Amino acid sequence: MPTPDHRKIELQSPADLAYLYTNTIALSRQKLDLHFPPSANHHNDPDPMKERVRELVDEFITKTFTTATPSIAINGLDAHSTPNPAFLPSTEETIEYEPYDAALAARVTALYAQLESLNTTVAQLRRDAPARAAREYAEALGGVLRGDDELDRGDGDVVMEGGDGDGDGSGSGNGRRRGTRAGRRAKNKADFVLRIPFGAGQGDQEREKERWTGGEVGEVYGEALRTLVRLQGEAGGVDGDVDGGDGDGDGARGLATTVGKVERARRAAEVVEGL
Q: What is the pLDDT of residues 22-64, one digit of tens each?
A: 899 999 999 998 888 877 666 677 788 888 999 999 999 989 9
Instruction: Please state, as a whole number, how many other Cβ atoms lie within 10 Å of the Cβ of residue 190.
Output: 8
Name residues whose C-beta falls within 8 Å of residue 72's C-beta, 6 or more positions apart in sequence.
8, 9, 11, 17, 78, 79
Residue 3: inside a domain: no
Instruction: Kindly report the pTM of this predicted structure.
Output: 0.32
Please give the sequence-ordered ranges of beta strands (E in DSSP) within the chain, or none if there are none. Answer: 9-11, 72-74, 77-78
pLDDT of residue 192: 46
pLDDT of residue 69: 83
Q: Helix, strand, coil: what percent of the chain each, to 5?
A: 65, 5, 30
In terms of residue numbers, what domain contains 224? Answer: 195-274
Residue 54: inside a domain: yes
Is 236 found in the same domain as 221?
A: yes
Is 245 found in the same domain as 175?
A: no
**Using an 8 Å Cβ cutoff, are 86 and 22 in contact?**
no
Residue 2: inside a domain: no
Is 147 found in the same domain as 217?
A: no
Write down the mean pLDDT value for the chain.
73
Distance CA 130, CA 142 (A): 18
Residue 112: inside a domain: yes
Model pLDDT for residues 196-220, shown as the tens digit of each residue: 555 555 666 676 667 666 666 667 7
Residue ending a domain, choose from 161, 188, 215: 188
pLDDT of residue 105: 92
DSSP state letter for 83: -
Residue 95: inside a domain: no
Is 80 found in the same domain as 34?
A: yes
Quickly state the pLDDT bin for 162 (edges 50, 70, 90).
very low
φ/ψ of residue 229, rounded to 5: -65, -40
Is 135 found in the same domain as 81?
A: no
How many structural domains are present in the chain? 3
